[in-house]
Amino acid sequence: MPIRQFNRLVDIIEEYAKELQEKVIKRTKEVGLLQQENIRLRVIEEKERIYEDLHDSLGARLTNIFICNNVAKTVGRKSNYKLKDMLERIGNNCQLAIKDLKEIIFGMQYSDRVIIDFSKFIVFNIKKRLSPKNIAFDYRINDAEELNSSDRDIRFEIEKLLQELVSNVLKHSNARKVLLELSISDSELNIYFSDDGIGFDFPKEIRQGLGLKNIHNRVEWLRGNIRVSSIINEGSDFTITIPLKLS
């Protein structure tokens, strides 16, 4: 091979190696930027999750504390016994709020909570929250044992969903009665939650109401479906279906 051709071949190889090196450097920078963006998005996602948990857990507790405090002010002038009961409720809810906050911060996700009968646990907490406003509570729960054996994370999300639904009733509905129905069919949990309150404008509420958005977000995360029906001055109905196995 003539020396001139050989030198030309060397130059071509050097140019190719330089071009390849530049491409590697450029690609490395692009990968680094993608990794930074991925980290940024994950941080935003985690912040949103923590914000939702704080809103659902502490929001429900603080709403209950606020209601109990107003009731305590009203009955304080009439009955010392009722006042004492309200103050005990406020103290208990403060302790539960502190516990919720610790569990969210340390990422425990209620792993130390022992559920003996999840349906009874749900009913007890809803009754306790509705009673200060004298809201009647009726419920029908089927397949309680199967619900007890469902995934712990699903039970956690179900509890938060119901907390948010009850909070909406306490804050906005002026309801006199609430109905909850739980049943299981084809490995899916069916939740029906209704009240006889003043109802709401659903399209407007879903745009503006954080509570409804959080409910939809949790149902979506669980790969479930939700249907909402509300008629002004007649009440609201929530029909939710959730698979009992996380995908």
Q: What is the structure's pLDDT at 114?
A: 40
In a domain, residue 56? The reply is: no
* pLDDT over 60 at 131, yes or no: yes
SS3 assignment, position 14: helix
Q: Does the pLDDT value for residue 139 go beyond 90?
A: yes
Q: What is the CATH number of the domain that holds 167?
A: 3.30.565.10
Q: How far, CA to CA in Å, does 29 sit from each of 17, 22, 32, 75, 231?
A: 18, 11, 5, 67, 56
Place of tokens 């450097």: 25
- List pLDDT tens digits, range 42-69: 666 666 666 666 666 666 777 777 777 7
- pLDDT at residue 183 in the model: 92
Would residue 229 count as lying in a domain?
A: yes
* Mean pLDDT confidence for 113-123: 69
Ramachandran angles phi, psi of 201, nearest 5°: -85, 100
Q: Within a domain: residue 221?
A: yes
pLDDT at 144: 82
Q: What distance in Å separates the CA atoms of residue 83 and residue 238, rounded to the nearest whole number? A: 34
- pLDDT tens-digit series, residues 150-207: 877 788 888 888 988 998 888 888 899 999 999 998 889 999 999 998 887 655 555 5
Task: Indicate whether 23 belongs to any domain.
Answer: no
User: Would you say residue 1 lies in a domain?
Assistant: no
Q: What is the pLDDT of residue 168?
A: 85
Q: Name the pLDDT band for 30 (thresholds 50, 70, 90).
A: confident
- 188 forms beta bridges with 185, 243
Tens digit of each residue's pLDDT (9 = 90 or more) over 211-235 = 677 788 888 888 899 999 888 888 8
One-letter identity of residue 10 = V
Choice between 119 and 139, residue whose per-residue pLDDT is larger: 139
Q: Which of 155, 200, 151 is nearest to 174 (CA)?
A: 200
Residue 134 belongs to a domain: yes
101 assigned to some structural domain: no
If we measure between CA atoms, which residue out of 153, 161, 59, 44 comes closest to residue 100? 59
pLDDT band of 112, cuts 50, 70, 90: very low
Tokens 């996380």 correspond to 246
Residue 230, domain extent: 115-247
H-run or E-run covering 8: helix 3-75
The answer to whether 152 and 118 have CB atoms below 8 angstroms apart is: no
Amino acid identity for residue 200 in this structure:
F
Q: How many domains does the chain fold into?
A: 1
Residues sharing a CB contact under 8 Å with residue 95, sequence separation 6 or more, in sequence order:
none
Q: Is residue 237, in this structure, part of any structural domain at all?
A: yes
User: What local confidence, expressed as pLDDT, does residue 181 receive?
Assistant: 95
Positive or negative CA dihedral for 119, 122, 128, 129? negative
Would you state the pLDDT for residue 108? 44
Residue 10 has pLDDT above 70, yes or no: no
